[in-house]
Chains A and B, each alone.
Chain A
């Protein structure tokens, strides 16, 4: 009850969020930070991956976050050297795989979720070409995307580590099943 009250109090005292930084030149960084949260396939994939890693345990979560961060960095850097391919169908399949991993919920070798995390990071990075007038702006946007994506994954991984109750595991499984179903249907549509 105390935590709920504290949470409500925090919600009540927050001031209006500012979507754009007043500091000139930092806008690109913020744009990049919000980017993974604004693109639905990215957000789904990162959350599914985070929850899956967290369900597997602290070690898997730790390596999963590191693997994703490295993959994301690699993907973002690759976009600096060429045109970014359309990664929609790849992202959707990765969402399906991550969700199936959540449903399975059995202990898996660490290389499996970590491997998927690296692949997801690279795919999201390739699907997030930086836009900007000059190299500095593009670099700031890439840095923001890297930070934003990594933070979302970390939050997703922490969730099952905190919520260990049986009802939470049931909820993760049900949401993952529907996430896999929705993503697979859209993937079929993309292929058509």
Chain B
């Protein structure tokens, strides 16, 4: 009963994430408070959403330490990209990097790739810089920087948790295929963004 409840909560949260508008780019929402603006920011771009989900999915596949290690490594390295965005240091190809992150992370989940944790951390860290740069360029325009930051912190943490909950389905034989299929969809979305189609 507890497992079913956990799955139900996880799927509910996942549905909440997927109901986000497929808004391209990273536009601020005029008229909203700093917190709401920050909270909605990760949901406004499918590229952010799927990358966060993929990190959670892959962490569960890799094993117990990776479940928390990847969602921890991501923001700690993301800060570097965020600081670069704040300081106005150009990071060429950030949007391409974000699209590639969806492709690569999705493919790794689809292939159920079990890499050593330090390699997985390095891959996630590299992509985190691009995501951080995108957030960092938006931060100065936010009405209240700290509330904005806390908002997108909660939102991205929720997306990681959604990915983790979804990946828990892999405990069942059919669940593993469902998770890998999800990874495949994420990878295809990444290809679409790179091609400029999606």
Per the bound structure, the CA–CA distance linking A178 and B83 in Å amounts to 14
Judging by beta carbons under 8 Å apart, are A40 and B145 in contact?
no
Report if B48 contacts A (CB, 8 A): no
Report if B157 contacts A (CB, 8 A): yes
Report if A41 contacts B (CB, 8 A): yes
Judging by beta carbons under 8 Å apart, are A179 and B146 in contact?
no
Which residues of B sit under 8 angstroms from A176, Cβ to Cβ? 72
Judging by beta carbons under 8 Å apart, are B149 and A174 in contact?
no
Within 8 A of B (CB), among A5-54: 40-41, 44
Instruction: Using A174-B157, A174-B160, A175-B157 as known contacts, say yes or no to A185 and B68 having CB atoms under 8 A apart.
Output: no
Report if A186 contacts B (CB, 8 A): yes
Judging by beta carbons under 8 Å apart, are A181 and B86 in contact?
no
A78 to chain B, nearest CB (A): 24
Which residues of A sit under 8 angstroms from B71, Cβ to Cβ? 174, 177
Judging by beta carbons under 8 Å apart, are B72 and A182 in contact?
no
* Interface residues contributed by chain A, number (CB under 8 Å): 24
Q: Give which listed residue, A44, A174, A182, A189, contacts B86 with CB less than 8 A.
A: A189
Instruction: Using A40-B147, A175-B157, A178-B157 as known contacts, say yes or no to A185 and B72 having CB atoms under 8 A apart.
Output: no
Report if A153 contacts B (CB, 8 A): no
Report if A192 contacts B (CB, 8 A): yes
- Which of A169, A180, A184 lies at the interface centre, i.e. has the most chain B CB atoms within 10 A of its CB? A184
Give the secondary structure class of A's interface: helix
Which residues of A sit under 8 angstroms from B82, Cβ to Cβ? 181, 185, 188
Report if B79 contacts A (CB, 8 A): yes
Judging by beta carbons under 8 Å apart, are A180 and B83 in contact?
no
Q: Across the two chains, which residue of chain A brings its CB closest to B82?
A: A185
Instruction: Using A174-B68, A181-B75 as known contacts, say yes or no to A186 and B149 having CB atoms under 8 A apart.
Output: yes
Please, what's the 1-or-0 string for A163-174, where 1 marks a CB less than 8 Å from any CB in chain B? Answer: 000000111011
Please, what's the 1-or-0 string for B3-38, where 1 marks a CB less than 8 Å from any CB in chain A? Answer: 000000000000000000000000000000000000
Judging by beta carbons under 8 Å apart, are A189 and B72 in contact?
no
Please, what's the 1-or-0 string for B63-85, where 1 marks a CB less than 8 Å from any CB in chain A? Answer: 00001100111111011001100
Q: Give which listed residue, B74, B87, B154, contacts A188 with CB less than 8 A.
A: B87
Please, what's the 1-or-0 string for B85-106, where 1 marks a CB less than 8 Å from any CB in chain A? Answer: 0110000000000000000000
List 12 interface pairs A-B (beta carbons < 8 Å), by A numbering. A169-B68, A176-B72, A181-B76, A181-B79, A183-B146, A184-B83, A186-B149, A188-B82, A189-B86, A189-B139, A189-B140, A189-B145
| A residues apposed to B, CB below 8 Å | 40-41, 44, 103, 169-171, 173-186, 188-189, 192
